[in-house]
Amino acid sequence: MPIERYLLKVVAKCAYRYNLYFETPEGMKRKINILKDCNSRNRKIKYSIVLPCLSVDKYEQKEKSTKEMKRGISVDQFNKSVAGELTDGIIDNIINGISQYANVSVSVNHFIFHFLHLDQRILKNFSRVI
């Protein structure tokens, strides 16, 4: 990943904010550690992560929703492409997935949720637990 490391060096040198996009907790930790290693000036960089969020009441709905959105890839490939399936499924699973991100790094300043399917019911359920 020489290109990735080069880009992260540029971020460490020039940026004040770094947004990680649909990354797993391990990938997030790895990138933040590279940024810290490359940050020779000890600049304060704010980190945020964009997490896909697919909330359903039952697992059967998850498969149906992913089939509708998959865009030419298998359901398993789609699930793995959205942050390793940590933030999709029923609300309890999503909360557990979010906590994995929170446990990996105290460096993350913001979590940004990208709801892949959104309606009032999902927002209401999600807002009760967050």
Please give the CATH superfamily to which domain 2-129 belongs. Answer: Luciferase-like domain (3.20.20.30)
Task: Band the pLDDT of 130: cuts 50, 70, 90.
Answer: low
In this prediction, residues 18-27 reach a mean pLDDT of: 84
- 15-19, 33-37, 62-66 — which is least confidently predicted? 62-66
Give domain limits for the chain: 2-129
Above 80 in pLDDT, residue 119?
Answer: no
Residue 43 CA to residue 18 CA, distance in Å, equals 12
Q: Please enumerate in sequence order all residues whose Cβ is within 8 A of that of 126, keeping only pairs 6 or more positions apart, or say none.
A: 53, 55, 91, 94
Higher pLDDT, 95 or 65: 95
Q: What would the pLDDT profile of 52-69 be if each residue is shown by its tens digit?
A: 877 777 766 766 766 666
Whole-model pTM: value is: 0.71
